[in-house]
Amino acid sequence: MIPDAQTQLSSAQAITADAVSTNAYDLGAVPTGTANGAAPDPSIGEPMGIVIAVTVAADSTTADETYAFEAVQSTVTALTTPDVLVRVPFTAAQAAAGALAAGTVIVVPLPSGSITKRFIGLNYDVGGTTPTITCSAWIAPLSMIQKQKFYTSAIVVS
């Protein structure tokens, strides 16, 4: 899979209530004669995931907001009545502690062999008094996802 505009699920999508991603990834029409009626499964082969980049931090002022990111599949592009493949939740305590600060990257892996429907997307499940977060999200091979790690240095720059 080549990351491009087709793999983008959300682009700076502001979330203030439960919502699905503004875009869905279309796997194409189900091939005629497919035994199980399933669309081609991109999770077979190289491991894939949905990458979520927090562009505006989660609201943590009331300390009761919860956030969950769900990889979903559906038979329709609007992602109505989706099947949840994987759920990555954040408690109110985690959100209040800054776990969803701007610049945070969250990876929701797609389980291999689990996709049976035509459209893949992301569901934002939020709760609390005033949940607010802005995210961008896309599908990518897990091998393309890097994590930064900073190490202390013995070199002094002056």
Q: What is the pLDDT of residues 132-145, one digit of tens each?
A: 999 999 999 888 87
- Burial (0-12, 13-18, 19+ Cβ within 10 Å), 11: middle
Provide the pLDDT for residue 59.
Answer: 80
State the residue for tokens 């790690």: 149
Check residue 58 and report its DSSP letter.
P
Topology (CATH level 3) of domain 5-144: Jelly Rolls (2.60.120)
State the pTM of this model.
0.84
Residues above pLDDT 90, as percent of the chain: 53
CB 54 within 8 A of CB 99: no
